[in-house]
Chains A and B, each alone.
Chain A
Amino acid sequence: MFTQEARDIVVNGLWKQNPGIVQILGLCPLLAISNNVVNALSLGLATTLVMTVSNGAVALVRNLIPHAIRIPVFILIVAALVTVVDLLMHAYLLSLYLVLGIFIPLIVTNCIVLARVEAFASKRSTWHSVLDGAFMGLGLTLVLLTLGAVREAFGKGTLLSGLDLALGPRAAAWTIHLAPGYDGFLLAILPPGAFIGLGLLIALRNLIELRKKEHGPHPA
């Protein structure tokens, strides 16, 4: 079902061109909020939603947009769609909105959204653009999730705290306490912890890529 091209898009989003650890785009708001698993996952999913919708919409009308004014038109489309998503979620998916809602306006200004629209959706078919938006978003979500897990584990000694805000009081019991009596390590929760954590993730990815090149012949 998936052509080679579609498969390339998936691999690019998740690994080869991962927006979080390869393109390193639009991380300002993301770093600030990746201090626990639940926040990181919420923000990641909200970004994925916005990127999928905006890539699809721009690809649909890409032949109608004059080249000289494409950037303002892209911004207009992205901002309008995000506001629509925001309003619709607020009205009809209130419980989801209470968790994701505060992140959505943050995402409009995120340059990864505009970067994918300009670099991909304005030149490619609608289906491939939607796929690219979804997997670039998921790639970013994976990075945020890892970062959130590491920061929460080191900073607070827990995982999944605050899950009850998303899934109701039942989920409060799902919080994992890694080390009882652990006092926490504030640096990991504060913004510097995000930069240090992200640096380590990038280094890890580079290490894996380097190992891959050393072992086994690299396809030309």
Chain B
Amino acid sequence: MKRLMRSAVSNGLALVAFSVAGTALLAGTYGLTLGTIARSEQAKQQALLAQTLPEGSFDADLIAHTVAADPLLGTKKPGQAYLARKDGKGSGVVLEVTAPDGYAGEIKLLVGILADGRLGGVRVVKHKETPGLGDYIEVEKNPWIRQFDGLSLNQAPAAQWRVRKDGGRFDYLAGATITPRAIVKAVARALQYFERHKAELLAGAKE
């Protein structure tokens, strides 16, 4: 009984020692890399933001402000909207949009909309679609996502905001239709959101 007790205690202590050593190693590495990683994530977000608005459509840094959750944005929590300005006036806005019905869960998008209601560009920030099949929505892998550039609700009637298979105007790759369907719907909804909230978005007044 005593021997059993002793071995249990010594095993427990060994496990504690390994855990402490492991945690210390992780904490050290985390502290060491935290700043560098945060900077590169921010740079990536900035680069994506800049891609959603055409060059020359803004001349000052984007201003981030919070917008309330809205079914048209697909968001359940308040998100960010980025106001673009040119000559001191609001020239466009970049919205954080979620497409809830991707093949593997949510697809997070940045949708850039110019003041006249045309799309500046759409970029995928985060998704879990099948690698090699549904991931052609990433601009690095396929120019597919560029077909939104310059479109607006006036230019393309509501019935056309579908993939070709469903009678709309948007191309898709065979074998993965759910993914583009989700994105087309989300972008169309984001445009509707913009039409409804245009004034406040471009004024950037909402805190």
Binding site for B on A (CB under 8 A): 32-33, 35-36, 39, 64-66, 68-69, 72-73, 76-77, 79-80, 83-84, 87-88, 90-92, 94, 162, 164-165, 186, 189-190
Query: What is the bound-complex CA distance between A186 and B132, given in angstroms?
Result: 11
Q: Which one of A87, A164, A165 contacts B29 once the chains associate, using CB atoms below 8 Å? A: A87
Taken residue by residue from 130 to 161, chain B's Cβ proximity to chain A (1 for < 8 Å, 0 otherwise) reads as 01110000001100000000000000000000
Taken residue by residue from 5 to 37, chain B's Cβ proximity to chain A (1 for < 8 Å, 0 otherwise) reads as 001001100110011001101100110110011
- Given the contacts A35-B131, A90-B37, A84 and B29 also touching, CB distance less than 8 Å: yes
The 9 A-B pairs at the shortest CB distance, nearest first, are namely A91-B33, A91-B36, A80-B22, A35-B132, A87-B33, A84-B29, A69-B11, A87-B29, A66-B11
Q: Is the interface of A mostly helix, strand, loop or mixed?
A: helix
Name the B residues within 8 Å of A69 (CB-CB). 11, 14-15
Asked whether B175 is an interface residue with its Cβ less than 8 Å from the other chain, the reply is yes
Residue of A32, A66, A92, A190 with highest tally of chain B CB at under 10 A: A66
- Given the contacts A90-B40, A91-B37, A72 and B132 also touching, CB distance less than 8 Å: no
Query: What is the bound-complex CA distance between A186 and B33, given in angstroms?
Result: 41
What is the number of residues of chain B that contact chain A, defined by CB distance less than 8 Å? 25
Q: Which one of B14, B22, B36, B140 contacts A165 once the chains associate, using CB atoms below 8 Å? A: B140
Structural contact, A73 and B18, CB atoms closer than 8 A: yes
A52 smallest CB distance to B (angstroms):
18
Structural contact, B18 and A68, CB atoms closer than 8 A: no
Q: Which one of B25, B30, B133, B141 contacts A189 once the chains associate, using CB atoms below 8 Å? A: B133
Query: What is the bound-complex CA distance between A189 and B136, given in angstroms?
Result: 14
Taken residue by residue from 97 to 129, chain B's Cβ proximity to chain A (1 for < 8 Å, 0 otherwise) reads as 000000000000000000000000000000000
Query: What is the bound-complex CA distance between A13 and B37, given in angstroms?
Result: 35
- Given the contacts A165-B141, A189-B132, A189-B133, A88 and B15 also touching, CB distance less than 8 Å: no
Q: Is the interface of B mostly helix, strand, loop or mixed?
A: helix
Name the A residues within 8 Å of B7 (CB-CB). 68
Residue of B23, B40, B131, B140 with highest tally of chain A CB at under 10 A: B131
A197 smallest CB distance to B (angstroms):
14
Name the B residues within 8 Å of A87 (CB-CB). 29-30, 32-33, 37
Name the A residues within 8 Å of B37 (CB-CB). 87, 90-91
Q: Which one of B11, B15, B36 contacts A92 once the chains associate, using CB atoms below 8 Å? A: B36
A-B CB contact pairs (8 Å), 10 listed: A33-B131, A35-B131, A35-B132, A73-B14, A73-B15, A76-B18, A76-B19, A84-B26, A88-B33, A90-B33
Q: Which one of B29, B40, B174 contacts A94 once the chains associate, using CB atoms below 8 Å? A: B40
Query: What is the bound-complex CA distance between A39 and B23, given in angstroms?
Result: 32
B138 smallest CB distance to A (angstroms):
9
